[in-house]
Amino acid sequence: MMTEAQASILRSAIDSRMNIVISGGTGSGKTMLANAMIAEVVATAPDDHMVVLEDTVKMQCAAENAISLHTSDTIDMARLLRSTMRLRPDRIIVGEVRDGAALTLLKAWNTGHPGGITTIHSNTAMSALRRLEQLTAEASQQPMQEVIGEAIDLVVSIERQGRAGASGK
């Protein structure tokens, strides 16, 4: 899926507790990469308390010190994110950010919760940042470029190659 140099960069980002956004189109392998990165967190920082939030169950986290929370008809992602802060997580993982809850996630990452991972639908790293800006606009009238810049340390953009799977960029 990626070169050893690319894998080394991702391992270093995980070890450095960077907040990572994985972007790509449908079927590009975003969830597969996120699960591999979560496994790396579990292997290198097994004591980290992780909170995994999702709409649809796709994330796989084998950590003993992890909690998985899911949205429902009455509880949306923004509400889950606000509740997460009371759980004192070391790392906040969001399966896919797709609405105004993006702003809540960015604020959470900016309040002493580095080392998070999320996925987003977009075709390039730059379009992932633009998409985050659009999503935060659903929750705020003010531009959020600064909040995005402070919260996001690394954007990983992947794309689908043929029908066989994904390829790192």
Domain that holds residue 77: 17-159
Roughly what angle, to the nearest 10 degrees, separates helices 4-15 and 30-44? Answer: 60
Q: Kindly state whether residue 48 falls inside one of the protein's structural domains.
A: yes
Domain count, the chain: 1
> Which residues does 8 contact at the CB level (< 8 Å), separation at least 6?
none
Q: Tens-of-pLDDT digits for all 169 residues of the chain?
A: 789 999 999 999 999 999 999 999 999 999 999 999 999 999 999 999 999 999 888 888 888 889 999 999 999 999 999 999 899 999 999 999 989 999 999 999 999 899 999 999 999 999 999 999 999 999 998 889 999 999 999 999 999 876 544 444 4
H helix and E strand count, the chain: 6, 7
Domain at 141, CATH number: 3.40.50.300
The verdict on residue 12 lying in a domain is no
Residue 59 in contact with residue 31, Cβ under 8 Å? yes
